[in-house]
Amino acid sequence: MVPPQAPENVRDTVPARQRRKEARPQELLDAALELFVEKGFAATRAEEVAARAGVSKGTLYLYYPSKEDLLKAVILRNISHEIAEGVGIVAAHEGSAAELLQLVLHEWWRRFGETPASGICKLMMSEVRNFPDIGRFFAAEVIEPMHALLGSVLQRGIERGEFRPLPIPQVVQLLMAPMLFIVMHKHSFGACEGVELGVDPTRLIDTQVDIVLQGIALAPATKGRR
Amino acid sequence: MVPPQAPENVRDTVPARQRRKEARPQELLDAALELFVEKGFAATRAEEVAARAGVSKGTLYLYYPSKEDLLKAVILRNISHEIAEGVGIVAAHEGSAAELLQLVLHEWWRRFGETPASGICKLMMSEVRNFPDIGRFFAAEVIEPMHALLGSVLQRGIERGEFRPLPIPQVVQLLMAPMLFIVMHKHSFGACEGVELGVDPTRLIDTQVDIVLQGIALAPATKGRR
Amino acid sequence: MVPPQAPENVRDTVPARQRRKEARPQELLDAALELFVEKGFAATRAEEVAARAGVSKGTLYLYYPSKEDLLKAVILRNISHEIAEGVGIVAAHEGSAAELLQLVLHEWWRRFGETPASGICKLMMSEVRNFPDIGRFFAAEVIEPMHALLGSVLQRGIERGEFRPLPIPQVVQLLMAPMLFIVMHKHSFGACEGVELGVDPTRLIDTQVDIVLQGIALAPATKGRR
Amino acid sequence: MVPPQAPENVRDTVPARQRRKEARPQELLDAALELFVEKGFAATRAEEVAARAGVSKGTLYLYYPSKEDLLKAVILRNISHEIAEGVGIVAAHEGSAAELLQLVLHEWWRRFGETPASGICKLMMSEVRNFPDIGRFFAAEVIEPMHALLGSVLQRGIERGEFRPLPIPQVVQLLMAPMLFIVMHKHSFGACEGVELGVDPTRLIDTQVDIVLQGIALAPATKGRR
DNA sequence: TATGAATGAGGTTTCATTCAT
DNA sequence: CATGAATGAAACCTCATTCAT
């Protein structure tokens, strides 16, 4: 289906064959992510993954002993990479909590939400019940840290008197939910011809930040808001 | 495709066998919904569905000519039932738009979000790309009306001076997203032992309403802005 | 598929229900013969036979305990009926053997070849290898008597000096083959749109008789040939 | 649909595995022909065909995408091979039309009638009504040319004064019918223990030729007959 | 390493047969 | 007798996985 073309522009020091070989696992994982997101895990055939990665069926099994292991590798490979950066941003930030909140959400979108890696969200949502350990791993390694991160931003805002007292866990959910929802929509309905979300994701984040900031602001004194 | 529904007024004159026959389609659809949500469409075996409905494999095919038709029936049967009621609530309401918004969201949760029917959301998200016509149908019959409904509530609030001027479509998304997210979470991660959402859905809706209402309110201090 | 209409013109002395009941076996056999000839035994569903006979699936099994038994009944019912008449014709004939041969072949065509019963030939040819006992039965009850009959006509012709000495069994085959072939063609290729035999069966029999009679005649002038 | 035939000249350079691959299609077609002729198309299981060809069920589907495609390949592969040779024989012949007729019929028997390929006749007769396109194809590619061939022989005989004026299409049918009948008999009744044709095919052809030649001869002395 | 031919367990679907009504 | 809902064995076909080359 996909012609097995070799990338012609990447010959440096190592021979092409070797380069391909080293790149194989990632190429396979990328192909698998795409297909698993598109069609679902069970409905994707191992041979399709191999074909999209430009290798034969047998080669796939040289790298991953089973289709299920491939799925696990896809998921593990695509999670737990962006959190650390977020922590850095938060730690380095010196302005208002409101600005920081906006920054963090926009960066999340830029670095994850609008990349193909966001497909992992739909994939996990679809498949966790069949792979509960991965679900627990994901909850512990990704969801918890992300919530802690956003929670710390909120906490800082409350402490600094920018935000009113808030049920932090719930507000964190409310912050993430629209973004996760957009991501999931993009990889499901959004891929259907004739179904449009009707709103631009970046704008939506702006509106989200706008409303939530007014919503969580220490109310009477909300002047100065943007 | 979808077998004709049983007339509701002949329950006590027909023999028992006939009654089973009338009940079968719904029993099968319920079983199928559960399993498709749990395991995914492709990973659910037709025989499992039949077994959960208490019939044999062959009987399933007596009512639905293929597994794919069964999925279509599951989806069509479970959507487009709740919209009309929402319209009635909105039309009948006489109080403030803020109260109405709270009412509509809570009713949505009570009548749909916390029932098994909410699994349809996860199911559709997982399967639309394999069944795009159903996606378009769902978008036209469910999403559009629901957005129109919430949009009208917002519009009323703006006109009555309760809410500040708003980009209605985006705010509608922001209103629905957390609820849909909860629903999806419930049917995916939420079903994994050891992974908890950490927040109570009803409370979350309260917080959501609280924040959004303050967030979209024509804030006392910001009068004159528009 | 076939509406279960009752023949309205056959009420005489017995009530309609009873008449139907008595006629059932034959109606079922007729329907089965048609379908088995059309589609083959294995490819015909029991329910189709029942439907074409205007009864339900269950009723078929009241009369015939299995589909295979139905096939056997179809075959047994449709063979061994025409031979006796042929014997009578031969016995009663007083003219030349040539005339008699022509008469017998035409009668065979009129009474069997051009009726739906001739489908039995195609059916047997297709299915004997799966039902060898029926094959043996057919050979003993139908083929043998028929060959004996034709053989006796030839024998009479030889004895009367009308025909030259002949290898009777072979000539019998040569007499029957074209007629059987026409019959089989009619029920196979002949039923395909766009495939025509190109010759009229009755004419073919005439030509057959014409050639064979000259061919087997004690031809005074053909000496020296071969 | 039909896999490409193996080039005949690469037999000794390719590895053994490859050789099997090249041989597979023909082995499968041979096995399928045998079984379809024996038991009928519908009653033959795909797995049986595979087993008789010495491969597994899956391998069969590697070469033919469905059982029906296998049937089509069986038929297409086994027809349209013998006609050309007949044309050559007729063109090359220089003796009498009577000799030529005898030669053509004997060759037909030798090259087709007594080989397993003759089973295709029974198979087609049994299945054409379920596969009418193949029926039309067979009629156009096999039956028509064969009739044209025999017709040309008769025509030559008439022109040379060997044969009397004849209704050529009918006589062609009369020539072929006994041979086709023998072939069909061989693959149906002939395979039943205890049912014998009672005549030797080659002899039958001799008798057929004998009778027909006298029957169609421009017989000087047969005047007065009917 | 890489390939792709081969396998066979397992899934979907059909349909002969049964049996409660 | 007649019905047709229900069954489950068995057929077709797919595809994850293996392995000789």
- The arithmetic mean of pLDDT across residues A10-22, rounded, is 55
Mean of per-residue pLDDT scores for chain C: 86
Min distance D28 CA to chain C CA atoms (Å)? 22
Residue A48 is predicted with a pLDDT of 97
Find, in chain A, the residue whose alpha carbon is nearest to that of B200.
A170
Spacing of C-alpha B112 from chain mean position: 5
Find where tokens 């012949």 sit: D93
Find, in chain A, the residue whose alpha carbon is nearest to that of B170.
A204
Residue C42 is predicted with a pLDDT of 96
Cβ atoms B122, B37 nearer than 8 A: yes
Same domain, A52 and A144: no
The CATH number given to whatever domain includes residue B144 is: 1.10.357.10
Round to whole Å and give the CA distance between A169 and B208.
12
The pLDDT-based confidence of B219 (bands split at 50, 70, 90) is low
Round to whole Å and give the CA distance between B136 and A217.
39
Structural domain contains residue A2:
no
For C87-131, write each residue's pLDDT tens digit. Answer: 888 888 989 999 999 999 999 999 889 999 899 999 999 999 999
Residue D131 is predicted with a pLDDT of 94
The CATH number given to whatever domain includes residue D51 is: 1.10.10.60
If one counts every other C-beta atom within 10 angstroms of the C-beta of residue D160, the result is: 12
Min distance C59 CA to chain D CA atoms (Å)? 25
For B144-163, write each residue's pLDDT tens digit. Answer: 999 999 999 999 999 999 99
Q: Tell me the pTM.
A: 0.87
How many CA atoms within 13 Å lie on the side-chain side of B55?
A: 23
Whether C40 sits inside 8 A of D40 (CB atoms) is yes
Min distance D63 CA to chain C CA atoms (Å)? 24
Whether C173 sits inside 8 A of D197 (CB atoms) is yes
What is the identity of the amino acid at C43?
Answer: A
For A128-172, write each residue's pLDDT tens digit. Answer: 999 998 899 888 888 899 999 999 999 999 999 999 999 999 999
Structural domain contains residue C150:
yes
Nucleotide nearest to D42 (CA to C1'): F11
Find, in chain B, the residue whose alpha carbon is nearest to that of A139.
B195
Same domain, D41 and D86: no
Same domain, C151 and C63: no
Under 8 Å CB pairs connecting chains C and D tally to 213
Residue D219 is predicted with a pLDDT of 62
Round to whole Å and give the CA distance between A64 and A68.
9
Which chains, if any, share at least 3 CB pairs under 8 A with chain D?
Answer: C
Q: Is the CB of C62 under 7 A from strand F?
A: yes
The pLDDT-based confidence of C160 (bands split at 50, 70, 90) is very high
Residue A22 is predicted with a pLDDT of 72
For C23-68, write each residue's pLDDT tens digit. Answer: 778 999 999 999 999 999 999 999 999 999 999 999 999 999 999 9
Residue A7 is predicted with a pLDDT of 46
Structural domain contains residue A153:
yes
Question: In terms of Cα–Cα distance, which of C219, C209, C214 is closest to C175?
Answer: C209
Which candidate from A188, A216, A219 shows the least CB-CB separation from B125?
A188
For D57-73, write each residue's pLDDT tens digit. Answer: 999 999 999 999 999 99
Find where tokens 């409310």 sit: A174
Reply yes or no on whether the pLDDT at B39 is more than 60.
yes
* Structure tokens given for A29: 């994982």
Interface test with B, best of A211, A212, A216, A223 (most B CBs within 10 A): A211
Min distance D48 CA to chain C CA atoms (Å)? 15
What is the DSSP track for A189-211? GGGSTT----S-HHHHHHHHHHH
Percentage of chain B exceeding pLDDT 70: 86
Same domain, C162 and C130: yes
Same domain, B94 and B205: yes
Residue C25 is predicted with a pLDDT of 86
- Of D54, D77, D100, the last residue of a domain is D77
Same domain, B160 and B95: yes
Its domain, for residue A33, covers: 16-76
If one counts every other C-beta atom within 10 angstroms of the C-beta of residue A5, the result is: 7
Whether B136 sits inside 8 A of A195 (CB atoms) is yes
The DSSP secondary-structure symbol of A5 reads: P
Find, in chain C, the residue whose alpha carbon is nearest to that of D190.
C129
Q: Is the CB of A58 under 7 A from strand F?
A: yes
The pLDDT-based confidence of B19 (bands split at 50, 70, 90) is low
Residue C121 is predicted with a pLDDT of 94
Which candidate from A129, A203, A210 shows the least CB-CB separation from B188?
A129
Min distance C54 CA to chain D CA atoms (Å)? 24
* Radius of gyration in angstroms for the set of CA atoms belonging to chain B, rounded to a whole number: 21
Residue B80 is predicted with a pLDDT of 67
Same domain, C69 and C84: no
Same domain, D63 and D106: no
Mean of per-residue pLDDT scores for chain B: 87
Spacing of C-alpha D157 from chain mean position: 25
What is the identity of the amino acid at C19?
Answer: R
Select the more confidently predicted residue: D9 or D82: D82
Same domain, B91 and B202: yes
Reply yes or no on whether the pLDDT at A80 is more than 70.
no
Check contact D-A (3+ Cβ pairs < 8 Å).
no
CA of C77 to C1' of F19 (A): 57
Residue C66 is predicted with a pLDDT of 96
Structural domain contains residue C10:
no
CB-proximal positions of chain F, under 7 Å: 1-21
Which candidate from D135, D188, D203 shows the least CB-CB separation from C125?
D188
Nucleotide nearest to C45 (CA to C1'): E15
Q: Which residues pair with D217 in a beta bridge?
A: D163
Min distance D54 CA to chain C CA atoms (Å)? 23
Interface test with B, best of A150, A192, A203, A205 (most B CBs within 10 A): A192
Round to whole Å and give the CA distance between B2 and B73.
6
Structural domain contains residue B11:
no
- The arithmetic mean of pLDDT across residues D129-136, rounded, is 93
The pLDDT-based confidence of A82 (bands split at 50, 70, 90) is low
Give the range among A175-189, D72-86, D134-148 with minimum mean pLDDT. Answer: D72-86
Residue C98 is predicted with a pLDDT of 93
Write the CB contacts of C70 (distance below 8 Å, at least 6 apart in sequence): C28, C29, C32, C46, C49, C60, C64
Interface test with C, best of D48, D173, D209, D213 (most C CBs within 10 A): D173
Same domain, B64 and B150: no
For A85-136, write each residue's pLDDT tens digit. Answer: 778 888 889 899 999 999 999 999 998 899 998 999 999 999 999 999 889 9
- The arithmetic mean of pLDDT across residues C2-17, rounded, is 48
Residue A139: its chain B contacts at CB < 8 A? 189, 192, 194-195
Reply yes or no on whether the pLDDT at D170 is more than 60.
yes
Write the CB contacts of C85 (distance below 8 Å, at least 6 apart in sequence): C107, C111
Cβ atoms A206, A182 nearer than 8 A: no
* Structure tokens given for A86: 């977020």
Which candidate from A42, A169, A199 shows the least CB-CB separation from B170?
A199
Reply yes or no on whether the pLDDT at B88 is more than 90.
no
Residue D132: its chain C contacts at CB < 8 A? 192-194
- The arithmetic mean of pLDDT across residues D180-206, rounded, is 91
- Of C31, C53, C76, the last residue of a domain is C76
Same domain, A53 and A160: no
What is the DSSP track for C150-196? HHHHHHHHHHTTSB----HHHHHHHHHHHHHHHHHHHHTGGGSTT--
Whether D139 sits inside 8 A of C192 (CB atoms) is yes
Reply yes or no on whether the pLDDT at D89 is more than 50.
yes
CA of C21 to C1' of F1 (A): 9
Structural domain contains residue A7:
no
- Of C25, C49, C76, the last residue of a domain is C76
For A26-54, write each residue's pLDDT tens digit. Answer: 999 999 999 999 999 999 999 999 999 99
Same domain, D66 and D168: no
The pLDDT-based confidence of D226 (bands split at 50, 70, 90) is very low
- How many domains is chain D built from? 2
Residue A221 is predicted with a pLDDT of 45
Residue D218 is predicted with a pLDDT of 85
Which candidate from A135, A173, A178 shows the least CB-CB separation from B199?
A173
Structural domain contains residue B6:
no
Residue A6 is predicted with a pLDDT of 45
- The arithmetic mean of pLDDT across residues A190-213, rounded, is 90
Give the range among A55-59, A75-79, A112-116, C73-77 with minimum mean pLDDT. Answer: A75-79
Q: Which residues of D17-49 are buried (b: 16+ CB within 10 A; e: fewer)?
A: eeeebbebbeebbbbbbbbbbbbbbbbbebebb
Residue A221: its chain B contacts at CB < 8 A? 221
Which candidate from A40, A124, A207 shows the least CB-CB separation from B171?
A207
Residue A222: its chain B contacts at CB < 8 A? 219, 221-222
Round to whole Å and give the CA distance between D184 and C129.
12
Q: Which residues of B111-132 are buried (b: 16+ CB within 10 A; e: fewer)?
A: ebbeeebbbbbbbbbbbbbbbe
Residue B27 is predicted with a pLDDT of 94
- The arithmetic mean of pLDDT across residues B26-34, rounded, is 96
Reply yes or no on whether the pLDDT at D11 is more than 50.
no
What is the DSSP track for chain D? -PPPPPPTT-TTTS-HHHHHHHHHHHHHHHHHHHHHHHH-TTTS-HHHHHHHTTS-HHHHHHH-SSHHHHHHHHHHHHSSSSHHHHHHHHHH--S-HHHHHHHHHHHHIIIIITSGGGHHHHHHHHHGGG-HHHHHHHIIIIIHHHHHHHHHHHHHHHHTTSB----HHHHHHHHHHHHHHHHHHHHTGGGSTT----S-HHHHHHHHHHHHHHHHB--TT-TT--
CB-proximal positions of chain E, under 7 Å: 1-21
The pLDDT-based confidence of A206 (bands split at 50, 70, 90) is very high
Percentage of chain A exceeding pLDDT 70: 85
Check contact B-D (3+ Cβ pairs < 8 Å).
no
Residue D193: its chain C contacts at CB < 8 A? 132, 136
Round to whole Å and give the CA distance between A188 and A182.
10
Residue A11 is predicted with a pLDDT of 44
Reply yes or no on whether the pLDDT at B115 is more than 70.
yes
- Nearest protein residue to F18's C1' (by CA)? A58
Residue D6 is predicted with a pLDDT of 44
Structural domain contains residue B1:
no
